[in-house]
Structure 1
Amino acid sequence: MEPELPHTLVDYLEKSRVALAIASAVGDLPLLMVNDSFSTLTGYAPQDVVGQNCRLLQREAPNIEPRARLREFLTNDRQPNVRTPIVNFRKDGTPFVNLLYMSRLRSGDGRTNLFFASQFDVSRSQPEMLAGYEGELSATLGRLAPIASEAGIVVEGTLLTIANSASLVAQAKMILAELEATTDA
């Protein structure tokens, strides 16, 4: 049975300028909601992706290291969050490097019922755009915690997992260059 999302949480996430998604921790981790910023970033409307696993954004990209990080996060209940660049594709097929942030949303009894995810295109971003995203995500998480708490949900993880944004942008640019080189060949 899929958990019902509290209306206050949904209302807050829908208003965020950060691309956000909530997935169930049950089964194949189907998306329960995506906001307008997610749709703007990916080209997918909610009806295109809700009920499906977010891996549909990866299509056939190998994403070996990011997938390993995500598997570790999903299987290690003690790991509160994960941050990794991963190749995704917009609905129109255009590739981009997504700086994916995921954290657990736990019920009052400590069980992970939901996953919170944020997406940001670092393919061609400027450092100031990434800094703006980091600020927006930090503010989103700061405001999300008390709203979620009122609904009996505990937001796990913090942005202390981000070591060096500049290196993530550089890594993303290298990933995109490799992807473009293989598609041009």
Structure 2
Amino acid sequence: MDPTYCDPSLTDGLQAMLQNSRIALSIADGQQDDFPLVGVNEAFCTLTGYRPETVLNRNCRFLQPEGGAGPVRERMRQFLKDPKQEQEKFVIPNETADGRRFLNLVYMAKLFRDNQLCYILGSQFDATRGKTPALSLYEDALKEDIRRYNLLADDTGWVMLGSFDALANSHALIASSKLDRAEPEASS
């Protein structure tokens, strides 16, 4: 993967997941207070119009329109603070780099290693696309990603069912597996 798309500390598995997914994905550092982005993929850059070097190390709130995103921001904050809540979905008003407004359907999932929050995986989709059935397109793209990761699911024993929520959260399962399989860092 192009090194400008993610922090080199991300595991090879997480980097490959970002690179291979057609879904707009972002990964935020779950151990820093403001949850800055440490990885995005090409689909995220296409959706938002932002280049990777302008989004990495920033919180995703730069996507919100002037004046903020309304009450959904508080729900997102609560999700991030609540250790019992591992995943949630939100519809949030956002703006692309050129100022076009869109409704962003965001699935957020917390990724843990050794019971410590490491990352927040965000999966985004423009829910305001014109005449196309946006949610259907999103589900189709997720199904394609699931097909590509079928071997991983078989290896770990996960069973992925066809419901929309199960498909939407599949990236979190895959990312968790890739995080768990990472080689532990050597101590100096």
TM-score (norm 2): 0.72
CA–CA distance in structure 2, aligned partners of residues 90 and 146 of structure 1: 28
1:50 CA drift (Å): 0.2
How many angstroms apart in 2 are the aligned matches of 1:62 and 1:143? 28
Q: Is the 8 A contact 2:25 2:41 kept in 1?
A: yes
- State the Cα distance separating 1:27 from its structure 2 match: 2.5
Q: 1:127 to 1:81 in 2, by over 3 A?
A: farther
Partner of 1:103: 109
Once the two structures are TM-superposed, the CA of residue 61 in structure 1 deviates from its matched residue by: 4.1
Aligned match of 1:80: 86
Q: Residues of 1 paired with 2:131 and 2:90: CA distance?
A: 18
Q: Which residue of 1 aligns with 2:124?
A: 119
Code of the residue aligned with 1:17 in structure 2: it is: R
What corresponds to 1:90 in structure 2?
A: 96
Please name the residue that 1:23 is paired with.
Answer: 28
State the identity as a percent: 37
Deviation of 1:95 (Å): 0.8
Alignment map for 1:159-174 (pairs within 5 Å):
none
Q: In angstroms, what is the RMSD of aligned CA positions? A: 2.3
Further displaced range: 34-43 or 134-143: 134-143
Contact 2:102/2:128 (8 A) holds in 1: yes
Unpaired stretches in structure 1, ≥5 consecutive residues:
154-185
SS of 2:112 mapped into structure 1: strand
SS at match of 1:64: coil
Q: CA deviation at 1:15?
A: 1.4
- Residue in structure 2 matching 1:8, options 13, 34, 39: 13
Unaligned runs of at least 5 residues, structure 2: 1-6, 147-168, 182-188
Residues 86 and 146 of structure 1: CA distance in aligned 2, closer, same or farther (over 3 Å): closer
- The answer to whether structure 1 residue 151 and structure 2 residue 179 are counterparts is yes
Q: Which moved more, 1:139-148 or 1:26-35?
A: 139-148
Segment drifting more, 2-11 vs 140-149:
140-149
Given residue 152 of structure 1, which amino acid in structure 2 is its aligned partner? Answer: D
Count, aligned residues? 151
* 3-state SS of 1:88 partner: strand
Mapped partners of 1:146, 1:40: distance in 2: 23
More helix by share: 1
AA partner of residue 59 (structure 2): N
Aligned AA (1:4) = S
Once residues 147 and 93 of structure 1 are traced to their aligned partners in structure 2, the CA distance between those partners, rounded to angstroms, is 31
